Amino acid sequence: MLNTYFRVIVGTMVLLSVVLTVYVSTNWMWFTVFIGVNLIQSAFTKWCLLETILVKLGVKKEGKGCAVNP
């Protein structure tokens, strides 16, 4: 379940940042960069803030790392 929530939230944030970049300001592209850097960082450290938040909210954890399948 954690994997599903993670993918939906990250996908929504990326799409939202693209829409905001196109219609509001090009500075919103930095939000997309932030998301990408966090995904790369979590691949190496196996820690993700979003995962920690979701687990504290009661979402069942399936695998290790940032919503990675075992």
Residues 62 and 30: their CA atoms lie apart, in Å, by 30
Confidence of residue 66 (pLDDT cuts 50, 70, 90): low
Confidence of residue 70 (pLDDT cuts 50, 70, 90): very low
Domain positions in the chain: 2-56
Could you tell me if 34 and 10 are in contact, meaning their C-beta atoms sit under 8 angstroms apart?
no
> What dihedral do alpha carbons 8, 14, 15, 18 form, nearest 10°?
180
pLDDT value at residue 65: 55
| Cβ contacts of 24 within 8 Å, gap of 6 or more | none
Q: For 10-54, write each residue's pLDDT tens digit.
A: 999 999 999 999 999 999 999 999 999 999 999 999 898 889 899
Query: What's at 59, amino acid-wise?
Result: V
DSSP 38: H
